[in-house]
Amino acid sequence: MVIMASNKLTRAGVRALLRRIVPWASETNTAKGGHNRNYKGVRGRIGIVGGARDYSGAPYFASISAMRLGADLAYVICSASASQSIKGYSPDLIVMPILDCPDDEEFETEMSCLLDRLHALVIGPGLGRESHLQTRVKKLIIKAKELSLPLVLDADSLILINEDPSIVRSYPKALLTPNRIELQRMLCSLYKSEHFDLRTMSTEDVKKLVQRCSHDMNVCILAKGSVDIVSCGDIENHLVIEETLGSSRRCGGQGDILSGLAGVYLHWIEMANGESLEKIANPTALAACLAAITTRQCNEIAYKDFGSGMLASDMISKLDTAISSLLSSDDSKHTESHVLNNPTKARYVGSLTQDEICRYSRQMIMSEFGPERQLNLKQSSAIIVGAGGLGCPSAIYLGAGGIGRLGIVDDDKVEISNLHRQVLHSVKKTGMLKTESIKEAILDINPNVKVDTFPVRMNRENAVRLIEDYDIVIDATDNLLSRYMISDACVVAKKPLISGAALKTDGQLTVYNFDNETPCFRCLFPEPPLASAVGSCSENGVLGVLPGVIGVLQAMEAIKIGAGIRPAYAGKMLLYDGQIGLFRQITLSKRKADCQACGQTSKLSRDLIDYEQFLGSKDCEKLTRDNNVLDPSERVSVEQYRDILESGEAHVLVDVRPSIQSEVSRFAHALQIPLSELMQEKAKSLNSIKGQLESNNANHIYVVCRKGIASQRGVRIIQELFAAQQPKVMVKDIAGGMTAWAQQIDTSYSCL
C-alpha cells in the first residue's frame, strides 16, 4: 500500500510504527478507552494558527482532530471574530483570539510564551491572505525554527513559502501539505519559466514534480490529492500513498483534519525518535505518511456510514475507529483482529462493536461524552421498578442510548387505559406482560442491550436481591409504599436511586443515596403521611405527557451516572409545574445522622421492614388485588347489582368517585358524593343520603366508585354515619366498580 523506495512500509509496518509511537497503544492491555493519565502533558500540546476573520471551521477541524487523536491540549490562535464560534464548537479547545490584535508586540510576546510550551505548530487552516497577518506568521515560523519546533504548513501559509522558500528551506521538521491547486502554485512560483498543468498529468509525473520540488527546497512535502504523495527531499526516499485506501469522495475540511493529525504525529515520532526510529527513515516523512493514512482511513469508514453526504465532523467521529483498525493486528493472539479493507468488521481496542460505534456516534463525538463514557455506559446496568408511565420513557432512552443491561420489574399487564402515557405498549399488546412489551420495544430499537424481565411485584422479600445486581436503580412506581421500600433497599444495597413522580400536572425528580452526602427518601420523609392521603391514589389522575417529561429526565440522570458523570439532581430536587410551565430546583438538606434508614443508628437490614404497618394503610394497588377490606357479605357483584336494578328494589346508589370522573359518565339515579367530601363533610353527607332514602322509601344503600377500592372505604364511612340512626340501613359496595360494570355488564358504557 505504501511504498518507500528503500524501505517498504507495509500495512504491518504502519501498525508496528503506530504501536511504537501512539502513547496509549504502547501500553499493553490498556484499552483505547483507558487513555493513561500518566501521559498527561506528554501526548502533546499542539498550536493551530488560523481562523482569520470568520474562517472558524478549518482551525476547529484541525485542532479537534489533534485532540481526538490523543493530544493533551490544542491551542487555537485565531482572530477575535472567529474565536467565539470556535469556542462554541468545543469548550475543550484553548482559544486565543490574538491573531489580529492591533499591537504586533503584544502578539509576539503572547506567542513566544506559548511557543515555549508547544510540541508542534500547525499553521494555515483558515488563515487567509491578509498581508499583515502573513507577515506575523512569517515571523512566527522563524521563531518556531529557532526553538526547533515541528511545523505543519498548510493552506494559506503556503503563500509565504511561494514568496520566500528560504524560510523553510532545509528545515528538517517542516512539513508542507499543499493540495493539487496549491502544489501547482508552488511549482509555478518555484520554476517560473516552466508551465505546469497538473490536471492533465499522470500520477507518475506529479510524483516526480513533488520529488523535485521537495529536493530543491530540501523540505518534506505531502501533496494531497486522489493519490497522496510524500517526499522528503531525498530522491531515494519518497512515499506514495495509493488511492486504494479512502473513498472516492474527499470532503471539505479533510485537509484540515490531516494537518491537525500531522502536528500530533510529528510530536509523537519525535518522542519515539530518541530510541531507534531514525534508522527507519526521515521522521517528518513518516509523520506525514501516518497523517495521510489515518485521514484516508477515517474517510473510508465515514463514507461507509454517511455516504456522499459525509461531513468533516463525520470523519472526525470515525477517528477512534480508524486508529483502532490501523492498530489492530491480524495475529491470532489478538482477538480484536480485523481485515483492513473491511472496516465494518473493525473493533474498538476496547469493546464497542462497529454497530455500537456507528449507533452512538452522535453522542460519542461530543467532547463532554466521548468513547470512554460510552464504554462506561455499556459496562453499566440499571433496574427500573415499574413499567408504566415513568418506566416506558426511561427504559427506551436508556436502551437507545447504550446502557449495557437493563432490568424491568412489573407484574402488570397492558391495558388500554395505560396507553395514553405508557407509550411503549400498544393496542395489539393488550393483555401482554408490561415487562415483555418493554423488552420487545427496546430490542426493536437497540438489540445490543441485554434486557432482564422480572414479572413480579417488588416486595420486602425480593427488593434487595433484585436491585443488588444492578448499578443504578430507577423508581418508576406511583405509590408511597414502593417509594419507602425501594429507597430502603437502595440504602441497604448501596445503590443510587433515581426517583421520579408524576401526579396530575406536577412532576418531581431527584437522585437519592448517590453518595454519603445525598439523602435517602426517609431522610426527607421520616414519617409517612396520614393513611387517608395514602389511600387516595386511585382518585388522582395524570396528564399523559407528564410522566414522559419526568421519565426522560430519569433516563438522563441514569445515563450520566452510567457514563461516569455526576448527576445533576444528587442532593437537589427538580419540581416541574406543567400547568404554568415552570421548572424549579431546590437544594435538599444533607443526610440526616439520625435517619432510620441511612443514619448511623439504623437497624435496617436486608429484610427491610413491614411497610404496610409502617404506613398504617394498605397500598392501594394491593387493595385492588386483594379487595379484602369488606366482608364478602358486604359486597355485591356487578351482576347482582344489575339484577337489583331490574327487580326495581328500592335503594340509594352513592357514587363516591371524584366529580371529575363522575361528570364524564354516571348512573342517572346515583347520588354524587366524592369520597373526600364524605370524609370531611359528614353531617351534610348524612343529610343528603337520608333525604334520598326517604324519597326513595328505601333502607338499602349501595356504594360505587371506579374500581371498587374507594367504595369499600365509602361503605365504612356511611356505616359510621348511620350507626346511631334508626331504622338500621344496609350498606354494601359494588365490587369492581364502574370499571367492572363497563367490562361485564354494559360494554357501551365507558368510564375513566
Give least dist CB 383 to Zn ion, A: 20
Interface stretch with Zn ion, choices 130-138, 300-308, 361-369, 595-603 (CB under 5 A): 595-603
Pick from 223, 520, 717, 734 the residue near Zn ion by CB under 5 A.
520
Direct distance between the N- and C-terminal alpha carbons of the chain, in angstroms, rounded to an integer: 71
Cα separation, 6 vs 228, whole angstroms: 18
Q: Judge whether 705 counts as a catalytic residue.
A: yes
Query: Of residues 124-143, which lie at the interface with Zn ion (CB under 5 A)?
Result: none
3-class DSSP assignment, residue 698: coil
Interface stretch with Zn ion, choices 21-29, 88-96, 239-247, 521-529 (CB under 5 A): 521-529
673 sits near Zn ion (criterion: CB under 5 A)? no
Residue 522 or 618: which CB sits closer to Zn ion?
A: 522
Cβ atoms of 728 and 699 within 8 Å: the answer is: yes
C-alpha cell at 675: 369520597
Residue 209 or 492: which CB sits closer to Zn ion?
A: 492
Cβ atoms of 731 and 715 within 8 Å: the answer is: yes
Residue 96 pairs in a beta bridge with 77
Cβ atoms of 25 and 54 within 8 Å: the answer is: no
Give least dist CB 483 to Zn ion, A: 13
Interface stretch with Zn ion, choices 264-272, 416-424, 590-598, 728-736 (CB under 5 A): 590-598
Cα separation, 98 vs 403, whole angstroms: 43
Percentage helix, strand, coil for the chain under 3-state DSSP, each rounded to 5: 45, 15, 40
Give least dist CB 480 to Zn ion, A: 16
Give least dist CB 602 to Zn ion, A: 8
Residue 598 or 670: which CB sits closer to Zn ion?
A: 598
CA dist 365 → 272, 273, 374, 446, 503 (Å): 29, 31, 10, 19, 37
451 sits near Zn ion (criterion: CB under 5 A)? no
Q: Judge whether 220 counts as a catalytic residue.
A: no
Interface stretch with Zn ion, choices 142-150, 258-266, 282-290, 596-604 (CB under 5 A): 596-604
Cβ atoms of 2 and 10 within 8 Å: the answer is: yes
Give least dist CB 523 to Zn ion, A: 3
Pick from 48, 597, 615, 652 the residue near Zn ion by CB under 5 A.
597
Kindly give, in sequence order, each residue whose CB lies less than 8 Å from that of residue 472, ignoring residues fewer than 6 positions away. Answer: 380, 381, 382, 383, 495, 496, 498, 558, 561, 562
Give least dist CB 591 to Zn ion, A: 6
Interface stretch with Zn ion, choices 34-42, 194-202, 512-520, 716-724 (CB under 5 A): 512-520
Residue 123 or 595: which CB sits closer to Zn ion?
A: 595
Cβ atoms of 611 and 622 within 8 Å: the answer is: no
Residue 678: what are its φ and ψ, rounded to 5°? -60, -35
Residue 361 or 513: which CB sits closer to Zn ion?
A: 513
Residue 542 or 598: which CB sits closer to Zn ion?
A: 598
Cα separation, 93 vs 62, whole angstroms: 11
CA dist 159 → 123, 154, 187 (Å): 12, 9, 12
Give least dist CB 528 to Zn ion, A: 14
- Beta sheet of 652-655, edge-to-edge order: 635-636, 730-734, 700-704, 652-655, 671-672
Which among 289, 537, 598, 751 is annotated as catalytic? 537
595 sits near Zn ion (criterion: CB under 5 A)? yes
Residue 179 or 602: which CB sits closer to Zn ion?
A: 602
Residue 597 or 729: which CB sits closer to Zn ion?
A: 597
Give least dist CB 598 to Zn ion, A: 3
Residues in contact with Zn ion, total (CB under 5 A)?
Answer: 6
Interface stretch with Zn ion, choices 89-97, 272-280, 338-346, 589-597 (CB under 5 A): 589-597
Query: Of residues 381-420, which lie at the interface with Zn ion (CB under 5 A)?
Result: none
- Read off the DSSP letter of residue 588: P
Interface stretch with Zn ion, choices 448-456, 517-525, 608-616, 679-687 (CB under 5 A): 517-525
Give least dist CB 599 to Zn ion, A: 6
- Count the Cβ atoms, other than its own, within 10 Å of residue 598: 25
Residue 67 or 523: which CB sits closer to Zn ion?
A: 523
Pick from 111, 209, 523, 608 the residue near Zn ion by CB under 5 A.
523
C-alpha cell at 53: 476573520
Which among 232, 251, 705, 751 is annotated as catalytic? 705
Query: Of residues 336-355, which lie at the interface with Zn ion (CB under 5 A)?
Result: none
Query: In b/e form, how buried is each residue of 314-323, taking b as 16+ CB within 10 angstroms?
Result: bbbbbbbbbb
Query: Which residue's CB comes closest to Zn ion?
Result: 595
Residue 450 or 590: which CB sits closer to Zn ion?
A: 590
Kindly give, in sequence order, each residue whose CB lies less than 8 Å from that of residue 603, ignoring residues fewer than 6 positions away. Answer: none
497 sits near Zn ion (criterion: CB under 5 A)? no
Written as one string, the DSSP assignment of 175-220 is: EEE--HHHHHHHHHHHSTTS---GGGS-HHHHHHHHHHHHHHHTSE
Give least dist CB 600 to Zn ion, A: 11
598 sits near Zn ion (criterion: CB under 5 A)? yes
C-alpha cell at 594: 439520625
Q: Give me the residues that bind Zn ion (CB under 5 A), please.
A: 520, 522-523, 595, 597-598
Residues involved in catalysis: 537, 705
